[in-house]
Amino acid sequence: MNFRLVLALCFMLLCTPGGATSIPVFSGDGSPPKMFVHEGRQRGVLIDILAYADQHMPDHRMDLKLYP
């Protein structure tokens, strides 16, 4: 998942009307510093961006899963 894709996803979510929506986001964990798992926690720049977007979109919930 690259930075442009994350921005496009956030923009799309901001423009989506009504109703609570769960949004699954899947990615690999092997691309530090963008997305990775360290000591059992999801970390990285894109994780922070998605967490920020998730906090500011009360009608949506991002379900982020990183896999090896």
Mean pLDDT of 7-32: 72
Which uninterrupted H or E stretch holds 66?
Answer: strand 60-67
Task: Enumerate the β-bridge partners of residue 22.
Answer: 61
Q: How far apart are alpha carbons 25 and 38 in whole angstroms? A: 18
Instruction: List, as one string, the DSSP characters of 11-65.
Output: HHHHH--SS-EEEEEEEESEETTTEEEETTEEESHHHHHHHHHHHT-TTEEEEEE
| pLDDT recorded at residue 48 | 92
Residue with the bigger pLDDT between 4 and 61: it is: 61
